[in-house]
Amino acid sequence: MNEVELLNWARGPGLAYATVFMVFGLTLRVLEILSLGRPKEYAKVRSSGVKEGFRTIIRRNLPEKHCWKYITATYIFHVGLFVVIFFFIPHTQLFKDVFGVFWDGWPNYIIDFFTILSIATMMYVLIQRRVNPARRILSRPSDYFVWLVTFLPLVTGYMAFHRIGPDYTLMLAMHILSVELLMVMLPVTKLVHAVTFAMARYYNGSNAGRKGVKV
Amino acid sequence: MTEERVDKAETLGGSLISNGVSRRTFLKFCSTVASAMALPPAAAKAMAEKLSQATRQSVIWLSFQECTGCTESITRSHKPTLESLIFDFISLDYHHTLQAASGDAAEHAREEAQKKHKGKYILIVDGAIPVKDGGVYSTIAGITNLQMLQDVAKDAMAIVSVGTCAAYGGLPKANPNPTGAVAVSDIVKDKPIINIPGCPPIPVVMTGVLAHVLTFGIPELDSHGRPMAFFGDSIHDRCYRRPFYDKGQFAKGFDDEGARKGWCLFEVGCKGPTTHNACATVKWNNGTSFPIQSGHGCIGCSEPDFWDAGSFYKPLSTGSMNMEGWATGALAAGAAVGVASGLLNSNTKSKAEAKHEPVTLEDMGAKNE
């Protein structure tokens, strides 16, 4: 298979399979989690938990004093990823094509800035994972795997755009394939937090609130 | 006149002089070809000397599953050019469209050229070769394209596959490929093959490559068998609209403000970024224009399988398959399985709750003291 066939596969069946798997997987997981509901309360319910739920969503967005550098770096790359994925003009064309919704993209130099920022902060986060003893112990192989799966589209996309590497067609194929890997991994790894983070935080916060724990 | 002496009229130089082409014009052409092929400056002089001494090169041109667009492209220039003169100069011993002979006489001309110039003739092929069902889908004088190619290729010096069909299978090979069409390189494995793809290819690329073969031999080729000199860069890299791509200024349609301002055509489906050809530099119709300059995106015609790469009007960053319904279907299926799984879980939960028995301290082993 040469680079042209690889690109044609990535843009054709590859993208279709990955989209179907991702949409199916995410819908299934979200509905399954929601349908589980709450466990039966055996103790007296102290509060509705709504306030605590929303508080937790916001509170966990704020960097903690003892690790503000690490947390800030993770926020930067999350924001960077969001901007790059949803506002690079060729990407907006993809969303328009698949989901039929369209919004204006941003100029390439802004996307470039956020790509470099995301790559740099992701590397910082990885180094911190290895350097900090607590994080190193807590890290499992799957954590490094999801880091890699997120990192690859950024690097291949940057290389393709700037014509770095062997050949644009091959780099574009590698970029699309790396994105398809990310799409497939989204529902089956902890990357699912992309769609569940808010409801998971709300659940934890409101659960604590219902038990009378101050959050 | 000794036998060794080559008749002036039989050399390219002589032929050009008799056609009223000055040496200055000829040198200019050689410089253009040399620079177009990224050869060093001295090569232009060497090319001029070698070309002017070159004798008539026997060429057999086989047309298989094709539309004759490649021949049209090369022969339909607006005025007689040096390219066409060089094209006229070669001894085109067999060519369906251009030869006067027909029927048996035509086939005899081919057979004779094969015998007379054994191992020395250049074989030019345009069109794909159908191989399904023994190759019955395209025959010439009762001979299948497959048989004819194998027969003529075995004594050729080199093969030039002109057009995307001969080079990569092109339109006949497009899905579902009913005739089992393949490229020349899928059949002939033991001869040097130069691919000059394009639908059709650019005339000057054709003559440039021919000039190179006559003077310096086979040019440097890329991984798809294309001369690097003409196919080394992508259309996008040489496109005059590239700055608009970099700035994120795109035409959204063929008649909107962006289109009128000459902005990048990426969003209306231009395949320039993944297409390698010389259109943006050499251009068409004696350097007048090329598709992007005329307001239409590149369709990627010099790349393998370009017919199967999705719509010409969908951006390169989108899927090539029609995704309408795929995402919705997956959403519906995910929701159905999700709800079913939820019901199952809720059933398990109810059963567990029904079986639940309060645990007392005694159950946990505490003793009343």
B213-263 pLDDT, tens digit each:
888 889 999 999 999 989 999 999 999 999 999 888 999 999 999 999 999
Residue B85 has pLDDT above 70, yes or no: no
- Close Cβ partners of A39 (under 8 Å, ≥ 6 residues apart): none
Residue B80 has pLDDT above 70, yes or no: no
Chain B within 8 Å of A25 (Cβ-Cβ)? yes
Nearest CA to A197 out of A84, A100, A80, A75 is that of A75
- What percent of chain B lies above the pLDDT cut of 90? 51
CA dihedral A111, A116, A122, A124 (to 10 degrees): -150
- What percent of chain A lies above the pLDDT cut of 70? 100
- The 3-class SS string of chain A reads CCHHHHHHHHHHHHHHHHHHHHHHHHHHHHHHHHHHCCCCCCCCCCCCCHHHHHHHHHHCCCCCHHHHHHHHHHHHHHHHHHHHHHHEHHHHHHHHHHHCCCCCCECHHHHHHHHHHHHHHHHHHHHHHHHCHHHHHHCCHHHHHHHHHHHHHHHHHHHHHCCCCCCHHHHHHHHHHHHHHHHHHHHHCHHHHHHHHHHHHHHHHHHHHHCCCCC
Chain B within 8 Å of A103 (Cβ-Cβ)? no
CA distance linking residue B235 with residue B292, whole number of Å: 9
CA distance linking residue A170 with residue A159, whole number of Å: 11
What pLDDT, on a 0 to 100 scale, did the predictor assign at position B14? Answer: 79
What pLDDT, on a 0 to 100 scale, did the predictor assign at position B79? Answer: 52
Q: What is the mean pLDDT of chain B?
A: 87
B323-358 confidence digits (pLDDT tens): 767 888 898 999 999 989 888 888 888 888 888 887
The band of B42, judged by pLDDT with boundaries at 50, 70 and 90, is confident
CA distance linking residue A78 with residue B23, whole number of Å: 67
Residue A140 has pLDDT above 80, yes or no: yes
User: How far, CA to CA in Å, does A198 sit from each of A34, A37, A56, B293, B331?
Assistant: 12, 16, 9, 49, 20
The band of A47, judged by pLDDT with boundaries at 50, 70 and 90, is confident
Residue B130 has pLDDT above 50, yes or no: yes
B171-189 confidence digits (pLDDT tens): 999 999 999 999 999 999 9
CATH of B56-230, one of 3.40.50.700, 3.20.20.60, 1.25.10.10, 2.130.10.10: 3.40.50.700
B321–A12: do the CB atoms touch at under 8 Å? yes
B115-126 confidence digits (pLDDT tens): 999 999 999 999
- Tell me what the mean pLDDT of segment B295-316 comes to: 94
User: How far, CA to CA in Å, does B151 sit from each of A114, B118, B145?
Assistant: 59, 12, 10
Q: Which amino acid is at B165?
A: C
Euclidean distance between the first and the last CA atom of chain A, given in angstroms as a whole number:
56
B323–A106: do the CB atoms touch at under 8 Å? no
Euclidean distance between the first and the last CA atom of chain B, given in angstroms as a whole number:
136
State yes or no: ipTM above 0.90. no
Distance from CA of B97 to the nearest CA of A (A): 33
Residue B4 has pLDDT above 70, yes or no: no
- Tell me what the mean pLDDT of segment B275-288 comes to: 90
SS3 B338: helix
B19-36 confidence digits (pLDDT tens): 777 888 888 878 877 777
- What percent of chain B lies above the pLDDT cut of 70? 92
Domain boundaries, chain B: 56-230, 235-308
- Tell me what the mean pLDDT of segment A172-200 comes to: 95
- Quote the pTM value: 0.84
Residue of B304, B310, B349 with shortest CB distance to A12: B310
Provide the chain B residues 347-366 that lie in CB contact (below 8 A) with chain A: 349, 353
- What percent of chain A lies above the pLDDT cut of 90? 71
DSSP assignment of B162-223 equals EHHHHHH-HHHHSTT-TT-EE-HHHH--SS-EEEE-SSS--HHHHHHHHHHHHHT-SPPB-T
Provide the chain A residues 153-212 that lie in CB contact (below 8 A) with chain B: 163, 168-169, 172
Nearest CA to B61 out of B252, B206, B177, B251 is that of B206
B274–A7: do the CB atoms touch at under 8 Å? yes
CATH of B235-308, one of 1.10.3720.10, 3.10.20.30, 4.10.480.10, 3.40.50.720: 4.10.480.10
- Tell me what the mean pLDDT of segment A151-177 comes to: 93
What pLDDT, on a 0 to 100 scale, did the predictor assign at position A35? Answer: 85
